[in-house]
């Protein structure tokens, strides 16, 4: 979820806009998820693939922004910039999750009111570091790495990818990086086809950590490779077509059903390994249509990361409402879901302007 580019280089505003589009679709996924009976019939069935798209965008942007700066930049400086960019919103997201924790009363979280305050605060403080909590600190009961803000798991793997890049993989030649990406693609495809999807990565156990690494290694380092080998052209209406492609991929219904899980896995592997890199290439090649499109892409890019971090504490309330009122249909739930979607976007923008940007500016001075 990174939208940082070095100011002295040409910017890719369309990629920022696409990140925002994907972030909004993530919110719609989380708002439709509790209305399904299982992972086969969620209305926004492939919304979780937005995370894989974020990883690919991050790898592309990191390579573009930093690959040619290592002669003048230390590893310490790189990590300071990553902490400055990522941590403020992590802290806010975990804090919002903590504030709402005892108020998300529901039959699906019966133990919430038995959790002592010290334990919840300990989970919050660990969450500030993005380190995963062990299952013994699973205070919500969903076996999540970050029980106060579920989406923190992807930031954990994002940091791991950044560490691997800075310490080791940035030194890879194009050939070595290509070999790594091919191996990662095979591992990802195997996971997707054998499991039927790539959903997962948010629990601290062997099976879920494997999913998390598989979902991170290919897209992040494929994005890095793409930044090194791609030669963007000039494509008109790229933002429109790429936005439609992103929406088509993420809103695609489940394929194959319970009888043919491999078909859905194959679809997801193709999307992540082929379609997402194509979208990023087209987006990087896009020509802005005018000031209106430029402002829209900037707005979407600006709110994308805050939206990702602040929406899930609101989703907990929504999930509790759904679970406490069995039998709610989509027709009954969509007005509330729409209010939460709009509210999440507003909260993201307020968080950006009143918190994230000022704190990052302060950190930039302190971490020089």
| CA atoms in the 13 A half-sphere facing the CB of 176 | 6
* Low-confidence stretches of the chain (pLDDT beneath 70): 1-8
Instruction: Give the number of domains in the chain.
Output: 1
| CA atoms in the 13 A half-sphere facing the CB of 55 | 28
Residue 4 in any domain: the answer is: no
Residue 3 in any domain: the answer is: no
Residue 299 in any domain: the answer is: yes
pLDDT of residue 307: 98
State which residues form the domain around 200. Answer: 13-366
How far is Cα 249 from Cα 251, in angstroms, rounded to an integer?
A: 6
How far is Cα 272 from Cα 49, in angstroms, rounded to an integer?
A: 8
What are the beta bridge partners of residue 306? none
Residue 188 in any domain: the answer is: yes
How far is Cα 59 from Cα 228, in angstroms, rounded to an integer?
A: 11
Residue 146 in any domain: the answer is: yes
pLDDT of residue 37: 85
pLDDT of residue 367: 84
pLDDT of residue 40: 86
Closest C-alpha to 305, from 254, 276, 344: 344
Rounded to 10°, the helix 291-324/13-32 angle is 20
pLDDT of residue 223: 98
pLDDT of residue 172: 98
Quote the tokens at residue 329.
Answer: 């249909």
How far is Cα 202 from Cα 154, in angstroms, rounded to an integer?
A: 8
How far is Cα 330 from Cα 273, in angstroms, rounded to an integer?
A: 33
For the beta carbon of residue 354, count every other beta carbon within 10 angstroms.
10
pLDDT of residue 10: 73
Residue 5 in any domain: the answer is: no
pLDDT of residue 6: 43
What are the beta bridge partners of residue 235? 286
Residue 2 in any domain: the answer is: no
Quote the tokens at residue 159.
Answer: 């940091």
Q: Whole-model pTM?
A: 0.96
Residue 76 in any domain: the answer is: yes
């Amino acid at each position: 979820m990174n939208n940082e580019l070095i100011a002295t280089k040409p910017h890719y505003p369309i990629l920022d806009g696409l990140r925002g589009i994907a972030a909004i679709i993530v919110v719609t996924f989380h708002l439709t998820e509790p209305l399904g009976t299982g992972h086969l019939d969620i209305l926004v069935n492939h919304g979780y693939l937005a995370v894989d798209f974020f990883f690919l965008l991050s790898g592309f942007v990191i390579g573009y922004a930093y690959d040619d700066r290592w002669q003048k930049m230390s590893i310490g400086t790189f990590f300071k910039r990553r902490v400055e960019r990522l941590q403020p919103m992590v802290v806010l997201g975990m804090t919002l999750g903590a504030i709402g924790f005892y108020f998300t009363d529901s039959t699906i979280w019966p133990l919430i009111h038995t959790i002592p305050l010290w334990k919840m605060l300990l989970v919050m403080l660990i969450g500030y570091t993005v380190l995963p909590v062990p299952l013994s600190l699973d205070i919500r009961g969903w076996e999540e790495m970050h029980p106060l803000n579920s989406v923190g798991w992807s930031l954990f793997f994002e940091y791991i990818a950044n560490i691997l890049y800075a310490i080791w993989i940035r030194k890879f030649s194009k050939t070595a990086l290509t070999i790594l990406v091919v191996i990662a693609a095979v591992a990802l495809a195997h996971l997707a086809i054998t499991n039927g999807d790539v959903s997962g990565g948010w629990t601290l156990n062997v099976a879920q950590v494997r999913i998390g690494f598989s979902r991170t290694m290919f897209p992040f380092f494929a994005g890095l490779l793409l930044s090194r080998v791609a030669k963007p052209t000039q494509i008109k209406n790229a933002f429109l077509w790429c936005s439609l492609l992103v929406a088509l991929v993420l809103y695609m219904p489940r394929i194959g059903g319970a009888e043919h899980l491999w078909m859905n896995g194959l679809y997801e592997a193709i999307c992540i390994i082929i379609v997402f890199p194509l979208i990023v290439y087209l987006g990087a090649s896009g020509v802005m249509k005018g000031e209106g499109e430029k402002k829209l892409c900037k707005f979407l890019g600006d709110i994308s990361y805050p939206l990702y971090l602040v929406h899930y504490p609101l989703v907990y309330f929504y999930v509790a409402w759904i679970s406490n009122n069995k039998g709610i249909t989509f027709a009954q739930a969509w007005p509330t879901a729409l209010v939460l979607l709009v509210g999440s976007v507003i909260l993201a923008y307020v968080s950006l302007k009143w918190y994230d940007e000022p704190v990052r500016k302060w950190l930039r001075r302190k971490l020089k």
